[in-house]
Amino acid sequence: MPNALNVSNDLRQFLVLCHKARQEQVVPVLPNVEIEADPGVADYVRNCFKFVGRSESDTLFPFRICKNLLQIPSNPADKVQRPKKNACEANPYNSEELEKLFELVKGTPLELGVMFAAFYGLRRGEIVGLKWDAIDFTQKTITIRHTVTQATVDGKSVIIAKDGAKTKSSRRSLPLVAPFEKYLKALKKRQAENRLICGESYCQDYLDYVYVNDLGELVKPGYLTQAFPAFLENHGLRRIRFHDLRHSCASLLYANGVALKDIQVWLGHSDIGTTSNIYTHLSYSSKVSSAQAILGILPSQD
């Protein structure tokens, strides 16, 4: 647990303030807090506090939840010194590695996820959340406006689908390029055929979604996280995270001269600082070119 954040003391004070502000039952999630617990609130808040101390966002999230849930005017956690965020270290594939990956993943359940993550730089939840009405074959656009995430509550996996994206900037439209248009049209046709073949056995819950299996069941976000590294290992490819495909997209854009501002818009970052801090990983060849350019101004050693 981060040393800079005294979760126990601040949370204890926070819950007492919540209780006084609303004079209603809240959960005593910490020892020595003498507050009667309402079962509904208790279960919800207890789940929120399972992840306290894991990261800055995970630590502060329950405080924000309690503030909104109990409708108090201010959040005491706003005055708490926040722990520093751990820097995200990208581990992207280069163009040769991606080309080999594309060849091997073709025709597998991972194909759609890998293609959209590596080319469009989509987040896992954005890929799984793609719906057919977000694909405009007339205007040739793909609109990112729906996400699907996965959480564990009381030991059970729960799928959370919502309209809207991670941030306002995450909602964006991207060009539907010809290879993806061809791929998606073929996929839509195949899904229609599977629905006829399977009949009543075909899942009716996700007919609007793009990323479903042959029985119409939604491909879960956790599948991408778990199956992708295993796929790489089984095929002798360098191990990276699924999210590193997003980094790979950004790194290739940057290496090919695309401006950081344009990469920010493409990836849906709200802050260009996020783009520059994480994705400015020049390829080795780019570094060599930069070194050669600087060599021209060095004095001769003769």
Read off the pLDDT of residues 21-57 as tens digits, 9 standing for 90 and up: 444 444 444 434 344 444 444 554 555 555 444 455 5
Domains annotated on the chain, with CATH? 7-79 (no CATH), 95-279 (1.10.443.10)
44: Cα separation from own chain's centroid: 23
> Residue 91 is encoded by which pair of tokens?
């581990």
Q: Of 256 and 131, which is predicted with more confidence?
A: 131
Backbone φ and ψ for 43, nearest 5 degrees, come out as: -60, -45
Which residues, at least 6 apart from 39, have a Cβ–Cβ distance to it below 8 Å? none
What's the DSSP call for residue 218?
A: B
Residue-wise pLDDT tens digits, 248-283: 888 888 878 888 788 888 888 766 666 666 555 555
* CA atoms of 105 and 102, how far apart (whole Å): 5
Percentage of the chain exceeding pLDDT 90: 40
Is the Cα dihedral 250, 251, 256, 259 positive or negative? positive
Provide the strand spans (E) within 89-212. 135-136, 141-144, 146-153, 156-163, 172-175
Cα separations (Å) of 134 from 105, 187, 203, 220, 239?
24, 15, 21, 19, 32
Per-residue pLDDT, 107: 94
